C-alpha cells in the first residue's frame, strides 16, 4: 500500500485548495511545501469575490491550511527534490532523502518549476501573465490533466491567468477530479 493516496507538491493557493477537497473526500493526503507562495507577498487581496478586501495573503494561507488540517490533511515543510512519475505508486523525495509513495500526484509548484525542468517536463511561458516569469506545463490542459494517469498540474502551471481566485478554483477542480476518480463516482461536497 502506498503511504498516501494523494501527494500535493507545492502547498500554495492551488495546492491548499486541492488538499481541502481531497482531504474532505476522505483521501489520505500529504502536502509538501517550502513556504514560498507568491500570495504571501500580498498585503490585501482586493479582487477575490466574496472575500473581505482587508484579507492579506498570509491570512488567506493560514485559513486555507487550517481548513485542510481539519479535513485530515498532513503537512510537511520542506522542499521536494525528486519525483518518480513513470511507475505507480509514484514517488516523491524530500530534502532529507525521505521517500513518500502515492497513487495520485499534484504538481502545484508555480515558481518552483526548476523541479519539473530537472525531470524533463516540458514547460512554456504562461501567456496570461505579462511578466513572462510564469510557466505552464505543456501537454497539460486547464483541468490539470497531464496524460500520465493520476498525475495532475494545479495553479498557474495549468496555464491559467494569475488571479488567486482562478488558481484556487483550478486547484479545487483538480481535487474534485481526483476524489471522483479515487471514489469511482462523481464527488460532490455540498453542506
Contact positions toward ligand FAD, by CB under 6 A?
A: 9-15, 32-39, 41-42, 45, 47, 79-80, 108-112, 115, 155-156, 162-164, 167
Per the CB < 8 A criterion, the answer to whether 168 and 176 are in contact is: no
In the complex with ligand FAD, which residue's Cβ is closer, 133 or 139?
133
CA-based nearest residue to 144, from 176, 100, 122, 120: 176
> What's the rounded Cα separation, in Å, for the pair 6 and 104?
5
> What's the rounded Cα separation, in Å, for the pair 150 and 135?
21
Minimum CB–partner distance for residue 185 and ligand FAD (Å): 27
In the complex with ligand FAD, which residue's Cβ is closer, 27 or 160?
160
What is the three-class DSSP state of 153? strand
In the complex with ligand FAD, which residue's Cβ is closer, 171 or 191?
171
> What's the rounded Cα separation, in Å, for the pair 78 and 99?
13
Q: Which cell goes with 82?
A: 525528486
In the complex with ligand FAD, which residue's Cβ is closer, 27 or 107?
107
User: Residue 33 has what DSSP assignment?
Assistant: E
Amino acid at each position: 500500500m502506498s503511504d498516501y493516496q494523494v501527494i500535493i507538491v507545492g502547498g500554495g493557493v492551488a495546492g491548499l485548495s486541492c488538499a481541502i477537497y481531497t482531504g474532505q473526500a476522505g483521501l489520505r493526503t500529504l502536502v509538501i511545501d517550502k513556504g514560498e507562495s507568491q500570495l504571501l507577498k500580498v498585503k490585501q487581496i482586493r479582487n477575490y469575490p466574496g472575500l473581505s478586501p482587508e484579507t492579506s495573503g498570509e491570512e488567506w494561507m493560514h485559513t486555507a491550511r487550517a481548513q485542510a488540517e481539519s479535513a485530515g490533511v498532513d503537512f510537511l515543510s520542506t522542499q521536494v527534490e525528486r519525483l518518480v512519475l513513470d511507475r505507480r505508486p509514484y514517488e516523491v523525495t524530500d530534502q532529507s532523502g525521505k521517500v513518500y509513495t502515492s497513487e495520485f500526484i499534484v504538481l502545484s509548484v508555480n515558481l518552483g518549476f526548476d523541479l519539473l525542468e530537472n525531470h524533463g517536463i516540458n514547460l512554456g511561458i504562461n501567456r496570461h501573465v505579462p511578466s513572462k516569469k510564469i510557466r505552464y506545463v505543456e501537454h497539460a490542459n486547464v483541468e490539470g490533466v497531464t496524460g500520465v494517469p493520476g498525475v495532475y498540474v494545479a495553479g498557474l502551471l495549468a496555464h491559467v491567468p494569475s488571479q488567486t481566485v482562478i488558481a484556487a478554483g483550478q486547484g479545487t477542480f483538480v481535487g474534485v477530479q481526483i476524489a471522483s476518480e479515487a471514489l469511482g463516482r462523481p464527488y460532490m461536497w455540498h453542506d
